[in-house]
């Protein structure tokens, strides 16, 4: 029989699993349930690289292990298939995004299947499938038709709100949201309202509502972008300028759930880092809202929120967000130009950039003043981009003595800095401490922090100029995108008022359009749809949902993906409840993970789900970093024949091997000419031409380093840092005539650097190539072997050969010398059983704590031990196959059948039981010392007592050889450890 051939074995078992639906999960079972889920991928045209499967391999190991432990395992896969990349490709090519997406998904499925994942493919979902997004639209309508009752602290259908309006009008209603957006009315007025008036009165209470909102508007893409899609004022995709713009947008009232989202974190088995990111994003703070009257503007008031109302006497200026509604009104003619310039500059920065930039000091004075509500002292009103319109009131009272940012701002612009406590030292920086007693603070002079805070809040409320208030940093989630390739928002407009599409009319399917870009009049792409109206007469909402809409609930759809009557069947949801183990990137902490928790809590309020949280345990896998290779191009400025001085700038590129580049590092001045001459001689010898190199004219330097440019090269044409020269010449047209300065052994050695995998760095390694060469089992093992799952780790294809060698060695335990199957029924020896049960214990412990890299090490050690023992016994090798199966499932299936079991049945096997007695040693080696100095090691029975060990030492020749004739005074025996003889 031939040796181990993973390519044949793996294709066979992948076909078997598919044909027999081996990993199909049941929605009811007497077994305990276990739901393990990967964050599903967006299917890009590039397909998977080796960094992508890391989390998928880990989750698959857990899924297969849990099946062996007797669980009914749900392990599904699907695709987050709406998104901007497919739309941009459609704009460029005219090809429908659905076609691009379908082709990309087919490629992903092919690659995922080749890796042998135990997915239940019968449950696959795609967010762009109308049968799926029907229910995304349905959930949106539930949000649209619900409000948040602060008295019951949960969402309720609008019916309960309308009943309150009918009985008492708006009086006494406590609802989440902005009270200032709502109008007061009596029960009688409500009953007299027209339909339009009623809908307008209800709209500010809805959990899905429309409002003028500042957004990241990208004219180049014709759409709103999330903060994650903007970097340094440019769109992440395409690099187009992005500006802040006030636009009517659909929003989801996630702020209603802020406190519950905070409290729920305590019940989750997530890393503290991710939980802390969510806590900071939600940003709960307890303080006061204060009203500042604008001087000489009787109707103008500025509300600020502060957590340090005790420092209000030290508020020497106010800062408004550049987008604040009062900026234009308060800007004096003399300041108009400066303020407008500042506003224009701010529009080009994303909120995230503004929040992150703590070093830049900038602002513009409006020319107006406000009055300190307690001291009545005038304070200047400025605008600055570190204040955000959507956070709090869009205005802050600046207390430079107690806040470092305010301190730096005041120093920069020459504004007053007033100490407010007798403990403050503000000579060089702000002092935010709460020590000492208050000074320069009239009403609270001499009081402590607690006393001052309580007194000022009482005064604010008594005077009607403020109140105590709990605030949150989190803002409502912008829900609209001006794109085509997304879920249509199921809203239509009648008489200018938004109505929800009837649930019976869902899904609202994306219409066909002629182009995928905004209309000539600036409407979203859906404005191009012809005759697209509800009931043939009402205009639809033209925005689509953001990418995170479909991913906020997909874990529920996996439970019951083919249900046409409900988003998830009640029995299925009650059985699976939530995800037991979720694997994905920490970068989703304040996006997908937060939105999913919000949607789940909302569905829980409506009685549609039973679990309190969607994802009970979360593991964030680290990133596999690419191993980039570099070639070094010599910027020679052209070549000349030694007999002429004519420069030929059309001559080929010259690449110098890594060792030459390194040896020339730092050479300068007078040695430059010699160095270049040496390179010319080397090149002349290799090419047969007599060549001289000339320094590059445009480089004002005498450093050889500055004449060498490192360039990324495709790692797939490099092996062990040696460049395939012919492949390199074919890789890029401009390198077809390249010349090389090679090593003495006629190879070109590339440079190396570890960095993020990226197509632009040509360091992306396709799993397809490695599977073809080494097999999927080897790739699975190697990715786990690289290091702890949560850590970043560099990729090095060279390491694959070692893991492949391990699998061949394992194969030979069952097929000695790669011959016929030769497992015997002979009883196992104690050392063989010891090796097996050490592995059973170690593998079980490591998988339970998700330490996959150490498991691979343990399996390698076990195979080495069994090979040394020449073990070919079923009693050892059959349990070993089961241990291996979560990691290398194809090889395990092949060996399982060879051991006499039914094809494909290893996932139904029982996990081997660990037996402690096989690890108990028969004998123990004792170091034996004289007066603390070890002289020899003697072996005794593991059960020997101290008296028996002492007698044995006395009876041996140990004392005559080492005691120098002295009589022993005392024997000290530490059981299992050592013996010390005192003489």
The first and second tokens of residue 5, run together, are: 């051939």
pLDDT-derived band of residue 346, with 50, 70 and 90 as boundaries?
Answer: confident
* DSSP assignment string, 222-289: TEEE-GGGEETTEETTT--B-EEEEEEEEEE-GGGGHHHHHHHGGG-B--HHHHHHHHHHH-EEEEEE
Across the range 944-958, mean pLDDT stands at 91
**Cis peptide preceding 211, ω within 30 of 0:** no
Quick one: pLDDT at residue 306? 94
* 700 has a pLDDT exceeding 70: no
In a domain, 441, yes or no: yes
In a domain, 5, yes or no: no
Taking each helix axis as running N to C, give the angle between helix 874-884 and helix 830-848, from 0 to 180 degrees, rounded to the nearest 10: 10
Q: CATH number, domain at 875?
A: 1.10.730.10
Spatial distance between the Cα atoms of 499 and 497, rounded to a whole number of angstroms:
7
- 936 in the same domain as 846: no
Higher pLDDT: 708 or 750? It is 750
- 896 in the same domain as 793: yes
Q: Are 690 and 682 in contact (CB under 8 A)?
A: no
Those residues whose C-beta lies under 8 Å from the C-beta of residue 662, and which sit 6 or more positions away, are: none
Query: Binding site: residue ranges?
Result: 759
Quick one: pLDDT at residue 686? 62
Spatial distance between the Cα atoms of 108 and 880, rounded to a whole number of angstroms:
32
- The pLDDT tens digits of the residues spanning 64-118 come to 999 999 999 999 999 999 988 888 888 888 899 999 999 999 999 999 999 999 9
In a domain, 79, yes or no: yes
Domain boundary among 735, 761, 787: 761
Distances (CA, A) of 364 to 332, 349, 367, 381: 12, 16, 9, 9
Q: How many domains does the structure of the chain reveal?
A: 6
Backbone angles phi, psi at 314, to 5 degrees: -95, 10
Closest residue by Cα to residue 402 from 434, 379, 360, 370? 434
- In residues, how long is the chain? 983
Across the range 464-491, mean pLDDT stands at 93
Across the range 777-799, mean pLDDT stands at 93
pLDDT-derived band of residue 675, with 50, 70 and 90 as boundaries?
Answer: low
Domain boundary among 437, 472, 507: 472
- The pLDDT tens digits of the residues spanning 188-217 come to 999 999 999 999 999 999 999 998 877 788
- 115 in the same domain as 36: yes
- The pLDDT tens digits of the residues spanning 373-402 come to 999 999 999 999 999 887 778 999 999 999
Closest residue by Cα to residue 349 from 463, 214, 544, 462? 214
- 557 in the same domain as 539: no
Closest residue by Cα to residue 705 from 740, 735, 665? 665
- 743 in the same domain as 653: yes
Q: CATH number, domain at 930?
A: 3.10.20.590
Quick one: pLDDT at residue 797? 86
Q: How many CB atoms lie within 10 A of CB 719?
A: 13
Q: CATH number, domain at 346?
A: 3.90.740.10
E-strand spans in 117-264? 146-149, 154-157, 208-218, 223-225, 230-231, 234-235, 243-252
In a domain, 128, yes or no: yes
Higher pLDDT: 684 or 256? It is 256
Domain boundary among 498, 517, 543: 543
- 412 in the same domain as 299: yes
Spatial distance between the Cα atoms of 788 and 171, rounded to a whole number of angstroms:
58
Q: Are strands 970-974 and 978-982 parallel, antiparallel or unpaired?
A: antiparallel
pLDDT-derived band of residue 645, with 50, 70 and 90 as boundaries?
Answer: very low
- 317 in the same domain as 436: yes
- 462 in the same domain as 330: yes
Higher pLDDT: 597 or 916? It is 597
In a domain, 418, yes or no: yes
The first and second tokens of residue 461, run together, are: 């409320």
- The pLDDT tens digits of the residues spanning 33-78 come to 999 999 999 998 888 999 999 999 999 999 999 999 999 999 999 9
Backbone angles phi, psi at 291, to 5 degrees: -105, 125
- The pLDDT tens digits of the residues spanning 5-16 come to 999 999 999 999
In a domain, 620, yes or no: yes
Query: Binding site for ATP: residue ranges?
Result: 759
Those residues whose C-beta lies under 8 Å from the C-beta of residue 982, and which sit 6 or more positions away, are: 931, 968, 969, 970, 971, 972
- 445 in the same domain as 568: no
- 468 in the same domain as 533: no
Q: Percent of the chain beyond pLDDT 90? A: 73
Higher pLDDT: 237 or 835? It is 835
- 779 in the same domain as 703: no
In a domain, 310, yes or no: yes
In a domain, 710, yes or no: yes
- 651 in the same domain as 747: yes
Note down the domain range covering 102: 15-138+550-625
């Amino acid at each position: 029989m031939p040796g181990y051939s993973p390519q044949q074995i793996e294709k066979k078992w992948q076909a078997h699993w598919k044909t027999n639906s081996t990993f199909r999960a049941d929605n009811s079972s007497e077994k305990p349930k276990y739901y393990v889920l990967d964050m599903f991928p967006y299917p890009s045209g590039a397909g998977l690289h080796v960094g992508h499967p890391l989390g998928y391999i880990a989750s698959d190991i857990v899924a297969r292990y849990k099946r062996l432990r007797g669980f009914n395992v749900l392990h599904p896969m699907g695709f987050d298939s709406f998104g901007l990349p497919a739309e941009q490709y459609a704009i460029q090519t005219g090809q429908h995004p659905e076609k691009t997406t379908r082709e990309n998904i087919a490629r992903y499925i092919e690659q995922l299947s080749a890796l042998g994942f135990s997915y239940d493919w019968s449950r696959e979902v795609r967010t762009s499938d109308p049968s799926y997004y029907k229910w995304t639209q349905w959930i949106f309508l539930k949000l649209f038709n619900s409000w948040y009752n602060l008295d019951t602290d949960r969402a309720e259908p609008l019916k309960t709100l309308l009943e309150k309006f009918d009985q008492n009008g708006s009086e006494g209603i406590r609802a989440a949201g902005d009270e200032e957006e709502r109008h007061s009315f009596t029960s009688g007025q409500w009953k007299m309202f027209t339909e339009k008036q009623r809908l307008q009165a209800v709209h500010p209470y809805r959990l899905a509502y429309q409002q003028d909102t500042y957004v990241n508007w990208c004219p180049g893409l014709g759409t709103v972008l999330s903060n994650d899609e903007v970097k340094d004022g440019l769109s992440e995709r395409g690099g187009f300028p992005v500006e802040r713009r006030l636009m009517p947008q659909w929003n989801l009232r996630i702020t209603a759930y802020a406190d519950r989202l905070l409290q729920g974190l305590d019940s989750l088995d997530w890393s503290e880092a991710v939980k802390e990111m969510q806590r900071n994003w939600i940003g709960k703070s307890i303080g006061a809202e204060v009203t500042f009257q604008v001087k000489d503007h009787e109707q103008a008031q500025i509300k600020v929120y502060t957590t340090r109302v005790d420092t209000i006497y030290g508020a020497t200026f106010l800062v408004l967000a550049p987008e604040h509604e009062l900026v234009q009104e308060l800007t004096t003619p003399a300041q108009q130009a400066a303020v407008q310039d500042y506003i224009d500059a701010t529009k080009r920065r994303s909120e995230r950039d503004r929040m992150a930039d703590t070093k830049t000091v900038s602002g513009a004075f409006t020319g107006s003043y406000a009055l300190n509500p307690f001291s009545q002292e005038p304070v200047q009103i400025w605008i600055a981009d570190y204040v955000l319109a959507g956070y709090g009131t869009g205005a802050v009272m600046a207390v430079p003595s107690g806040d470092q940012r305010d301190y730096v701002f005041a120093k920069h612009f020459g504004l007053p800095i007033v100490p407010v406590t007798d403990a403050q030292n503000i000579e060089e920086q702000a002092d935010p401490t709460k020590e000492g007693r208050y000074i320069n603070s009239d009403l609270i002079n001499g009081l402590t922090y607690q006393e001052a805070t309580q007194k000022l809040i009482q005064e604010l409320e008594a005077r009607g100029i403020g109140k105590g208030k709990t605030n949150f940093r989190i803002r409502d989630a912008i829900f609209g995108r001006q794109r085509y390739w997304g879920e249509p928002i199921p809203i239509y407009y009648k008489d200018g008022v938004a109505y929800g599409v009837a649930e019976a009319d869902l899904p609202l399917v994306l219409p066909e359009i002629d182009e995928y870009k905004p209309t000539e009049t600036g409407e979203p792409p859906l404005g191009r749809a012809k005759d697209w109206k509800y009931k043939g007469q009402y205009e639809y909402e033209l925005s689509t949902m953001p990418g995170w809409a479909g991913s906020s609930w997909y874990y529920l759809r996996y439970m019951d993906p083919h249900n046409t009557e409900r988003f998830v069947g009640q029995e299925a949801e009650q059985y699976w409840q939530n995800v037991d183990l979720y694997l994905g990137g920490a970068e989703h902490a304040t996006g997908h993970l937060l939105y999913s928790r919000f949607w789940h809590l909302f569905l829980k309020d409506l009685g549609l789900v039973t679990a309190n949280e969607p994802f009970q345990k979360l593991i964030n896998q680290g990133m596999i970093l690419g191993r980039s290779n570099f070639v070094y191009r010599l910027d020679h400025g052209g070549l000349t024949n030694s007999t002429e001085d004519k420069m030929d700038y059309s001559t080929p590129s010259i690449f110098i091997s890594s060792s030459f580049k390194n040896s020339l590092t730092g050479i300068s001045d007078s040695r430059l000419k010699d160095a270049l001459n040496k390179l010319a001689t080397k090149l002349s010898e290799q090419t047969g031409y007599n060549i001289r190199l000339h320094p590059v004219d445009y480089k004002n330097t005498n450093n050889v380093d500055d004449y060498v440019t490192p360039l990324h090269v495709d790692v797939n044409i490099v092996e062990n840092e040696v460049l395939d020269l012919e492949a390199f010449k074919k890789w890029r047209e401009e390198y077809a005539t390249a010349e090389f300065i090679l090593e003495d052994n006629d190879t070109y050695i590339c440079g190396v650097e570890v960095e993020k995998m990226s197509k632009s760095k040509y360091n992306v390694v396709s799993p397809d190539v490695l599977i073809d060469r080494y097999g999927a089992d080897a790739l699975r093992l190697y990715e786990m072997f690289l290091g702890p799952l949560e850590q970043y780790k560099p990729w090095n294809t060279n390491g694959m050969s070692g893991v492949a060698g391990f699998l061949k060695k394992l194969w030979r335990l069952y097929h000695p010398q790669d011959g016929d199957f030769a497992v015997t029924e002979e009883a196992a020896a104690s050392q063989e059983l010891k090796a097996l049960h050490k592995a059973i214990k170690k593998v079980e412990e490591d998988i339970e704590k998700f330490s996959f890299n150490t498991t691979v090490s343990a399996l390698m050690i076990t195979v080495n031990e069994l090979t040394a023992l020449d073990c070919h016994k079923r009693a050892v090798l059959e349990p070993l196959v089961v241990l291996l199966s979560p990691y290398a499932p194809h090889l395990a299936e092949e060996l399982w059948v060879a051991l006499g079991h039914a094809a494909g049945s290893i996932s139904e096997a029982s996990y081997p039981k660990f037996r402690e007695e096989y690890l108990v040693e028969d004998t123990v080696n004792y170091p034996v010392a004289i007066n603390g100095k070890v002289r020899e090691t003697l072996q005794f029975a593991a059960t020997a007592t101290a008296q028996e060990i002492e007698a044995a030492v006395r009876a041996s020749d140990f004392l005559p050889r080492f005691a120098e004739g002295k009589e022993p005074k005392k024997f000290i025996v530490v059981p299992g450890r050592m013996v010390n003889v005192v003489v």
